[in-house]
Amino acid sequence: MQLKNAIAPIVLAVAGLAILLFGLTNTQTGWFNLGGSAILLVGIIATLSTLDLFSKSTRLIVFALLVVVSIGLMFVNYKAIKDPLDFQAEKNKRYSHVIQNLKDIREVQMKYKEKYGEFTSELDTMMTFLKNDSILVIKSVGTAPDTLTEAQAIELGIIKRDTTAIPAGISIFNAEYLGDRKGTFHIDSLPFVPFSRMAFKMNAGHVERGRVKVPVFKVTDAAPFDIYDVLQVGSMVDPSTAGNWGE
């Protein structure tokens, strides 16, 4: 009768052993292997208890220990599931701000290149350009009749071109740009990685394409929340201004 009653705990022990062996031979996580070990241990103890190999007092002690271990494993499993979810949620929040700053810096770099023919590798130069430099903006004054093209209207003097120097920061981060931008914009925080005191790492130079030197730049998150997923925009080996976040 005792052997018959021990079938269920023996099956449990065998299942735990199978799970443990599978984890060890398939490079599963430590928590997976710990779970298999716990099932194996419970199965062994339950089997020995069923076969009356423990005294009553020993059974009580073992039962209490199993309850404590079970509660501990439940907490560990809960944390093993919750912590990655919390990490991903925090990463998503932080990276949305970092990506926006990288987009802003890219916008400044593009305007800087339009004026000076190359990108800058210095954050201080970028900020000086934004705060103290200007961008020439050409505005058309007048309206072309339906019978004329804009070029013809300009030639006839119906439309006039007015060139105005506008502060770079105001020209780049105008109302239209800020209207589409996510989050509050502070120009002085632009060089810094959000949620940190670290400045972005910025490089600039040239690559040769068809015997022509093409300006390139790259801006990298110097304080990544996830060291295995470092955000950057641009490239120093390819004339690309795309970000690596899959835009």
Reported as a pLDDT band with limits 50, 70 and 90, residue 165 is confident
Q: Which residue has the tokens 């600039």?
A: 204
Last residue of a domain, one of 65, 88, 111: 88
In a domain, 222, yes or no: yes
Residues pairing with 232 in the sheet: 220
3 state SS for the chain: CHHHHCHHHHHHHHHHHHHHHHHHHCCCCHHHHHHHHHHHHHHHHHHHHHCCCCCHHHHHHHHHHHHHHHHHHHHHHHHHHHHHHHHHHHHHHHHHHHHHHHHHHHHHHHHHHHHHCCCCCCHHHHHHHHHHCEEEEEEEECCCCCCCCHHHHHHCCCCEEEEEEEEHHHHHCCHHHHHHCCCCCCHHHCCECCCCCCECEEEEEEEEECCEEEEEEEEECCCCCCCCCCCEEECCCCCCCCECCCC
Quote the number of domains for the chain.
2
pLDDT of residue 221: 98
* Pair (106, 200) in one structural domain: yes
In a domain, 245, yes or no: no
Q: When comparing pLDDT for 227 and 1, which is higher?
A: 227
Q: What is the mean pLDDT of the chain?
A: 84
pLDDT digits (tens, 9 = 90+) for 77-97: 677 778 889 999 999 999 999
* Pair (225, 104) in one structural domain: yes
Q: How far is CA 29 from its chain centroid?
A: 24
pTM of the shown model: 0.71
* Pair (61, 116) in one structural domain: no
Q: In this model, does residue 209 exceed pLDDT 70?
A: yes
- Which of 99, 129, 87 is closest to 225 using CA atoms? 87
In a domain, 11, yes or no: yes
